[in-house]
Chains A and B, each alone.
Chain A
Amino acid sequence: MSTPSIVLHSHKPGSPPGDLAIWFFIFAELLAFGIFFGSYAFSRAHHVELFNQSQLLLNRESGAINALVLITSSYFVVRAVAAIKQGLDRECANWLAAAIGLGCVFVVIKLFEFHAKFSAGISLSTNTFYMFYLSLTIFHFMHVILGMVILAAVMLKARRGGYTPEEHTGVETGASYWHMVDLVWVVLFPLVYVIR
């Protein structure tokens, strides 16, 4: 039996990894977040004092830890794609499991953060800053959940041996979506928690 060669592009050359349809979805999502980021920035311009004061009350540690968690999780997903390209489906599934595990860590930290805010009586109607803080983080939070569901579906299929070094578009599709979730937090964290 000859050594199978690595398939670098299981799809049309030049198109990004994963199913083309997911990229429409990714850019539509980025557009939505982009509009939200812009709205935040321009609202801040009108209420600089309010935003700077309210920002001090955020839990910057949990925001930063969550950034590290998602970045690392994204890296694990890269390793999962690498593993499936080598035909190592168990390893691929394990990397994905680790990535999902980190996703759970993100969710738990975020829930503590939300709990603290809600028990302090903060809601969407408290002020413009908290309206944005809560909407942006909750909207992103829902994307983390959706991303974890997608990764879990991919992981189960990988565990069943459903992907091969030649055909693993599903893994790349899930990976691309998860990187987008990471990317959004990488912008959201400095914008809402740090820049003042």
Chain B
Amino acid sequence: MQYQSQKVAMPYFIAAIGLFTGQILFGLIMGLQYVMGDFLFPAIPFNVARMVHTNLLIVWLLFGFMGAAYYMIPEETESELFSPKLAWLMFWIFLVAGALTIVGYLLVPYAGLAKMTFNDLWPTMGREFLEQPLPTKLGIVVVALAFLFNISMTILKGRKTSIALVLLMGLWGLAVFFLFSFYNPSNLVLDKYFWWWTVHLWVEGVWELILGSLLAFVLIKVTGVDREIIEKWLYIIVAMTLITGIIGTGHHYYWIGTPEYWQWFGSVFSALEPIPFFMMTVFAFTMVNRRRREHPNKAATLWALGTGVMSFLGAGVWGFLHTLAPVNFYTHGTQITAAHGHMAFYGAYVMVVLTIISYAMPVMRGRAANSEKAQVMEMWSFWLMTVAIVFITLFLTAAGILQVWLQRVSDTPMGFMAAQDQVTLFYWLREISGVIFLIGLITYIASFFVGGETKEAA
């Protein structure tokens, strides 16, 4: 580790992995509720489990991004972090606020939580993924601003690299688009319209910039390829992401009451969204093939390559499957969406955070890479989790196709619940894959505690 202040990333990464575990446990609870509707009822109803599952995902990814930024920025700018103390303070504020929110979800009925947290004064709750109570939302803004201040000041006083600037742009975008979560027009069309400005422009816009810069950073480190080459790719990927992603928002505007031209804009531009992901795959493999050094951290390289492949499959291919308006007319809001959501989030964002953790954790613990034994274990966890998510995606896709057929295409369409009964087999198989994912995650966590002979930090 070249800079002392990079170490502040460690608590962020640990919290991220902890919350990740929570997310998976709630995922398993929900997966079981799909086939055993009254499991854990009334303690944890399905809607609460779902809220916790998705909110934990967002929060732990944010922890991961922040940790990644705190780790990368000192090295990129060649200067210590502006204020490591502020970073520590924000860590605790964010963790406590996040934990309180989850506890609130679990212990208080949602309507009661809304009343307790002044939702009457400024209604922002009750919308998918943005369910957080007002104080939490404000807390997120405060943490994000303090974080951005810290990062921006560090970049201002140090070297300005493209990777740092792309990361900064992504992080600022993340904060700015979150502000739309406070805007809740009473017109339902406008409400949905701007809701996507947070949701879509995060995951199919600015988060991709963060993904690109994290991947570029790790690839420079593990391959030793010239910075100029990597940066050139990064620029093109960023440009393609923004061109396709911004107007691609239209693929959410097909059926919510917006003008018809969105069906064209959405279809054309979102159909191109796989391109930047494809370029990322080519990018990762080209750089690793052209590597100038054999980095001892094989696991980090594996994660980086995995991110390239799985983000293209999950976000690119599975997104494309149902993005065209005439297809989406049938598949909208079915298990096809769930299949895409699982593989895209895992392949793009989960994996890139695990990539940077895999690279940075050993360095922060004073070695270039973990022992052979620990790395083998980490690679096992890579394969377990990745294969499990592939199967989850395939089973959900199968469930989705059957659901679309029974419920929307056939001559004698079934009702929603009747169609759900027909696909239980796939839900059971998905749950089994989920258990394998959990085993993979436990293996992953265990790999941090495996000792053995390690190489000294370079």
A–B contact with Cβ pairs below 8 Å: the answer is yes
Provide the bound-state CA to CA distance between A131 and B263, in Å: 11
Provide the bound-state CA to CA distance between A125 and B244, in Å: 22
Q: For A21, give its contact among B236, B261, B264, B269 (CB under 8 Å).
A: B236
Provide the bound-state CA to CA distance between A19 and B239, in Å: 15
Interface mask (A34-66 → B, CB under 8 Å = 1, otherwise 0): 011001000000000000000000000000000
A19 touches B232 (CB 8 A): yes
Provide the bound-state CA to CA distance between A32 and B272, in Å: 7
A124 touches B259 (CB 8 A): yes
Which B residues, 89 to 132, have Cβ-Cβ distances below 8 Å to chain A?
Answer: none
Q: For B268, give its contact among A19, A25, A35, A125 (CB under 8 Å).
A: A35
Residues of B within 8 A of A135 (CB): 261, 264-265
A21-B265 CB under 8 A given contacts A31-B272, A125-B259, A125-B260 = no
Which B residues, 260 to 284, have Cβ-Cβ distances below 8 Å to chain A?
Answer: 260-261, 264-265, 268-269, 271-272, 275, 279
B268 touches A28 (CB 8 A): no
A32-B259 CB under 8 A given contacts A24-B279, A25-B240 = no
B272 touches A25 (CB 8 A): no
Residues of A within 8 A of B260 (CB): 125, 131
B235 touches A21 (CB 8 A): yes
Provide the bound-state CA to CA distance between A125 and B259, in Å: 7
Q: For B271, give its contact among A19, A24, A35, A131 (CB under 8 Å).
A: A35
Residues of A within 8 A of B233 (CB): 21
Which B residues, 196 to 214, have Cβ-Cβ distances below 8 Å to chain A?
Answer: none
A131 touches B261 (CB 8 A): yes
Provide the bound-state CA to CA distance between A28 and B271, in Å: 12
A131 touches B264 (CB 8 A): yes
- Chain B interfacial residues counted at CB < 8 A: 19
Residues of B within 8 A of A21 (CB): 232-233, 235-236
B264 touches A28 (CB 8 A): no
Interface mask (A13-31 → B, CB under 8 Å = 1, otherwise 0): 0000001010011001001
Residues of A within 8 A of B264 (CB): 39, 131-132, 135
Provide the bound-state CA to CA distance between A25 and B279, in Å: 10
Residues of A within 8 A of B259 (CB): 124-125
B268 touches A32 (CB 8 A): yes
- List 7 extra interface pairs beyond A35-B271, A39-B264, A125-B261, CB under 8 A: A21-B236, A32-B268, A35-B272, A39-B268, A124-B261, A125-B259, A125-B260
Chain B residues engaging chain A, CB cutoff 8 angstroms: 232-233, 235-236, 239-240, 243-244, 259-261, 264-265, 268-269, 271-272, 275, 279
**A-B CB contact pairs (8 Å), 11 listed:** A21-B233, A31-B275, A32-B243, A32-B268, A35-B271, A35-B272, A36-B268, A124-B261, A125-B259, A132-B264, A135-B264
Please list the 9 inter-chain residue pairs (A to B) with the smallest Cβ-Cβ separation, ordered nearest first. Answer: A124-B261, A131-B261, A21-B236, A21-B232, A125-B259, A35-B268, A28-B275, A25-B236, A32-B272
